[in-house]
């Protein structure tokens, strides 16, 4: 006998682009992806402008999310002209925060203090100190808190991780090269969130989380690395005249497994979609295709003779796992399962990995001379 699924009752803060993608994805029925124990309802959406919130609901979720369409809950999505309205709504039990980088800390604190669980867009906060502060509030209030790094839950990335960590498809991992960049310079104005200092823009915080996801998932989480943080972090940053970075390269060393990650994020050039991430091992390599944040397929290229330098490859094997979902729903499903199980921390996106991410970014910003405008950081680093 099948029991009624657990329903995550979402409230959305900020009716911008990524929130629209998230809401569109949670409208898809979980059973269409083989999931029957959880579902999603949209309880509320909040904007600084009530008309925008209502238009957002009318456009992206007119019939409610999957659980509402399937008749699992009675309530309909409600529009609010403030974020406070959403966090106070009794039908909301988890808040998705899709606001600007500079708002994440305040918005997350608002939701936690109103007793709501949180899924918080990347970069979780502006620095590691802000993140530690949110974690301590979440612990004290016994509330779920997770950074929304959706790529960690992408089935293509998980398949590659299994190929490398369990099936030893490319042998011992040696080097990872990953890029997420956009040719935005000259095409977007300085007020754009990617270039604006007031909004704590720049590719390191906006795009850097994705090359770092590949590094964390393939190298840091490699069973033989045993979650040992990188021993060295090196970087080169070029600053834009607004004060944010315009291009950042960073490298991370993992001596326990003799592996190195080389990550790039810039606003100067578009990422190569046929190979945004290349993972090289002693027996071959994996080339990942699609968007760095949303991989769709990958190529396995095995060496004919792994004892030779610069050896030839056997014919490429293409693994095409294209999916119809936007890709955000995989993390939403994971969050719903955590809530169903009464967890306040995800084992797949744990607090200490967000803290490590923020610490890496703090160090790279320091090395590159990227300082936030005074007052943006709500909790300062020591
Ligand atoms: N996971 C992913 O793939 C992606 C994640 N992101 C992350 O999501 C966040 C939002 O990005 P995105 O959706 O592209 O941005 P948008 O500009 O489309 O939306 C951001 C929303 O933030 C709200 N907001 C709150 N304060 C301000 C302010 N001072 N100025 C402007 N907007 C404000 C607005 O909502 P309102 O007007 O309704 O109040 C706005 O619509 C960023 O932190 C980004 O890093 C972005 C893109 C992809
Ligand atoms: O998270 C993101 O992924 C896609 C990019 O286009 C966007 O700028 C970034 O915020």
Q: Is there a single domain that holds both residue 22 and residue 164? A: no
- What CATH number does the domain containing 241 carry? 3.30.360.10
18 lines ligand 1 (CB under 6 A): yes
CA 49 / ligand 1 centre spacing (Å): 14
Q: Is there a single domain that holds both residue 84 and residue 125? A: yes
Cα(372)–Cα(375) distance, rounded to whole angstroms?
A: 8
- Residue 233 φ/ψ, nearest 5 degrees: -130, 115
Cα(303)–Cα(245) distance, rounded to whole angstroms?
A: 39
Q: Is there a single domain that holds both residue 257 and residue 130? A: no
Token pair recorded at residue 151 = 């790529």
Residue in 238, 177, 260 with CA at minimum distance from that of residue 365: 238
122 lines ligand 1 (CB under 6 A): yes
Which stretches of the chain score pLDDT less than 50?
Answer: 1
pLDDT for 1 = 46
Q: Is there a single domain that holds both residue 89 and residue 182? A: no
| Nearest protein Cα to ligand 1, atom 47 | 18
Q: Is there a single domain that holds both residue 192 and residue 108? A: no
Cα(322)–Cα(160) distance, rounded to whole angstroms?
A: 14
367 within a domain of the structure (yes/no): no
148-342-327 Cα angle (round to 5):
30
147 lines ligand 2 (CB under 6 A): no
121 lines ligand 2 (CB under 6 A): no
121 lines ligand 1 (CB under 6 A): yes
pLDDT for 3 = 86
374 within a domain of the structure (yes/no): no
Nearest-10 crossing angle of helices 329-340, 17-26: 60
377 within a domain of the structure (yes/no): no
> What CA–CA distances, in Å, run from 139 to 132, 133, 153, 179?
11, 10, 24, 35
13 within a domain of the structure (yes/no): yes
- What CATH number does the domain containing 83 carry? 3.40.50.720
368 within a domain of the structure (yes/no): no
Residue in 55, 56, 76, 49 with CA at minimum distance from that of residue 65: 76
Q: Is there a single domain that holds both residue 315 and residue 348? A: no
- Mutate-to-test residue for ligand 1 from 13, 14, 146, highest number of ligand atoms within 8 A of CB: 14
Q: Is there a single domain that holds both residue 32 and residue 167? A: no
Cα(366)–Cα(363) distance, rounded to whole angstroms?
A: 5
CA 37 / ligand 1 centre spacing (Å): 31
pLDDT for 2 = 66
Q: Is there a single domain that holds both residue 18 and residue 61? A: yes
CA 21 / ligand 1 centre spacing (Å): 12
Q: Which ligand is nearest to the CA of 21?
A: 1
369 within a domain of the structure (yes/no): no
Q: Is there a single domain that holds both residue 308 and residue 343? A: no
Q: Is there a single domain that holds both residue 109 and residue 248? A: no
Q: Is there a single domain that holds both residue 27 and residue 134? A: yes
Complex ipTM over 0.85: yes
CA 192 / ligand 1 centre spacing (Å): 11
- Residue 66 φ/ψ, nearest 5 degrees: -55, -45
CA 225 / ligand 2 centre spacing (Å): 29
CA 99 / ligand 1 centre spacing (Å): 4
Host domain of residue 22: 6-150+329-355
Q: What is the DSSP letter of 33?
A: G
Last residue of a domain, one of 322, 341, 366: 322
Q: Which residue has the tokens 């290229």?
A: 301
377 lines ligand 2 (CB under 6 A): no
CA Rg, the chain, in Å? Answer: 21
Domain count, the chain: 2
331 lines ligand 1 (CB under 6 A): no
Strands, sheet with 277-281, edge to edge from the N-terminal-most edge strand: 232-239, 245-254, 259-266, 173-179, 277-281, 284-291, 294-302, 317-320
Q: Alpha helix locations (H) across 14-146? A: 17-26, 50-60, 66-69, 83-88, 104-113, 128-141
Q: Which ligand is nearest to the CA of 16?
A: 1
**CA dihedral (344, 150, 205, 46) positive or negative:** negative
380 within a domain of the structure (yes/no): no
151 lines ligand 1 (CB under 6 A): no
366 within a domain of the structure (yes/no): no
- Mutate-to-test residue for ligand 2 from 16, 19, 194, 206, highest number of ligand atoms within 8 A of CB: 206
Q: Is there a single domain that holds both residue 161 and residue 287? A: yes
CB atoms within 10 A of CB 306: 13
């Amino acid at each position: 006998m099948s029991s009624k699924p657990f329903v995550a009752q979402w409230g959305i803060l900020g009716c911008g682009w990524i929130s629209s993608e998230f809401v569109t994805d949670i409208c898809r029925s979980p059973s269409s992806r083989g999931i029957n124990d959880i579902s999603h309802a949209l309880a509320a959406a909040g904007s600084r402008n009530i008309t925008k919130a209502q238009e957002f609901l009318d456009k992206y979720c007119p019939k409610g999310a999957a659980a509402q369409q399937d008749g699992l809950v009675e309530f309909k999505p409600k529009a609010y002209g403030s974020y406070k309205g959403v966090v106070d709504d009794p039908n909301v039990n988890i808040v998705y925060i899709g606001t600007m980088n500079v708002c994440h800390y305040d918005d997350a604190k608002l939701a936690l203090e109103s007793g709501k669980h949180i899924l918080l867009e990347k970069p979780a906060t502006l620095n590691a100190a802000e993140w530690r502060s949110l974690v301590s509030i979440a612990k004290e209030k016994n509330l779920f808190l997770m950074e929304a790094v959706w790529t960690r839950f992408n089935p293509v990335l998980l398949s590659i991780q299994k190929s490398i960590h369990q099936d030893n498809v490319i042998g011992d991992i040696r080097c990872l090269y990953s890029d997420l960049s956009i040719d935005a310079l000259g095409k977007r104005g300085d007020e754009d969130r990617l270039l604006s200092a007031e909004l704590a823009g720049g590719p390191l915080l906006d795009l850097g989380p994705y090359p770092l996801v590949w590094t964390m998932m393939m190298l840091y989480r490699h069973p033989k690395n045993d979650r040992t943080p990188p021993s060295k972090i090196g970087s080169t940053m070029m600053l834009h005249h607004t004060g944010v970075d315009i291009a950042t390269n960073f490298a991370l060393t993992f001596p326990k497994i003799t592996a190195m990650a080389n990550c790039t994020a810039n606003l100067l050039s578009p990422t190569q979609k046929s190979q945004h991430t290349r993972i090289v091992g002693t027996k071959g390599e994996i080339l990942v295709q699609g968007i760095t944040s949303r991989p769709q397929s990958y190529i396995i290229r095995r060496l004919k003779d792994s004892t030779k330098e610069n050896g030839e490859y056997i014919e490429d094997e293409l693994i095409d796992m294209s999916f119809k979902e936007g890709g955000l729903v995989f993390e939403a499903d994971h969050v719903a399962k955590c809530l169903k199980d009464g967890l306040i921390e995800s084992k797949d996106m744990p607090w200490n990995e967000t803290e490590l991410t923020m610490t890496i970014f703090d160090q790279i910003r320091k090395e590159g001379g990227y300082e936030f405008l005074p007052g943006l950081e709500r909790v300062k680093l020591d």
